[in-house]
Amino acid sequence: MPPVPLFELQPKLYLSLACVLSAVPCFILGRKDRSGPGGLLSTATILFAVGLPALLFKEFLPRPAVVIVGNMLVLGAMSLLWHTTAALCGRAPPRWTRGVAPALWAAFWLLPWFRAHLDGRIAIAATLTGSLAVLAVIELCRTRPKLLAQRLLIAVGVLHVTISVLRVVLAVRHDPFGASSLWTTITQLNVLNYVVLWPALCLVLLNQRTVELGLRDELSGVLNRRGLHLRAAGAPAVSVLLFDIDRFKRINDTFGHSHGDTAIVTFAGVASSVLGFAVPFGRIGGEEFVALVSDGGNGRAERLAEAVRHAFAATTLPCGIGMTVSVGVAHPRPGERDVLGAQLARADSALYRAKQTGRDKVEVWTEQEAVAPFPLSSNRHGVRHTITLVS
């Protein structure tokens, strides 16, 4: 075998080193999270660190064994990255799907035409890796809210899919560009993109998800009280929307607490969909929810409150019953920053009026109520609150 020029070995050395270095932090994390996404990510990067250098330096290793095994390791790593992404998004594809892509590669290798045609092998490999990237991107797109690391992962996945499609096209057409130095550089950067950048972003997303879980209500998935406090602390003046599901106690007493939980989850989903990701929205206890809306005095808070009310009234629970929600709205006073204190208490006063005057409506707190307020009572929220008086 003729000696390989050093300038051809250097990019391969850099890629191999990048694979190994990216596996180190993932391996450390995986030891602490063996059964979760950290363990999956650790295994994926280790497979990359073994399989990719083997393929890059196949000239120095026994063939065709290195081609078969190396590609199986890389496809296995790609499959695990898909499962890692799904785990970070709260889903778990069947475990057997982790071995589908490597098994397909091994099965193709049994075919004589596959072994004899390099372009065919390139096309099949690109199709398999691109398909796994598509599955990962689908998982990311299905999940809300989309954090910054999640959006970057989507961009990385789409780029990988695009280059994979181009590889298939060039291989099938036997295009000379597929053997050019420019295309070789593009594919090497794509490998770096997916082998190094994707695991790094997964680590960032895993950290963000861990923090996010501590700020979210376990049942409904929306922000909890702590999460709302943090979002309110960094927000400009906002209007407070206080939602309370009407006759919620009757649902629990008549149909059972499981149906009550379903009502809470359903309302959280409906309201989140109407309000959008930009509006902080959370559950502060029981059947009570709060949204913080940047209004600017143009009536946006009232319009969103009415949109949520109408959307929920048009929703039927699995048990076959319809439900409604009452809403109290309180706009900020000049210089006011106590969003979940005095302003929430004013929203509660408006909510009490909505309950007393028929439910299934939106009421806005006015300054006249400061002179002749509705009767208030203290409760678990630590503010003068009335929701417990009328359900």
Q: In which domain, by residue range, is 314 found?
A: 225-385
Structure tokens at 159: 């780029």
233 and 175 in a common domain: no
Q: Is 236 part of a structural domain of the chain?
A: yes
Q: Is 124 part of a structural domain of the chain?
A: yes
Q: Is 362 part of a structural domain of the chain?
A: yes
362 or 367, which is more confident: 362
pLDDT band at 338 (very low <50, low <70, confident <90, very high): confident
Output the average pLDDT for the chain: 84
256 and 129 in a common domain: no
363 and 251 in a common domain: yes
Mean pLDDT of 350-355: 94
291 and 149 in a common domain: no
State the helix-helix crossing angle for 257-275 and 248-255, rounded to 10 degrees.
140
Q: Is 218 part of a structural domain of the chain?
A: no
pLDDT at residue 21, rounded to an integer = 87
255 and 187 in a common domain: no
326 and 251 in a common domain: yes
Structure tokens at 315: 């929703």
Asked if residue 176 has pLDDT above 80, the reply is no
Q: Which is nearest to 156 in space by CA: 256, 259, 85? A: 85
206 and 160 in a common domain: yes
Mean pLDDT of 342-352: 92
Write out pLDDT tens, residues 189-247.
888 888 888 888 888 888 777 666 678 888 888 889 888 888 887 667 889 999 999 98
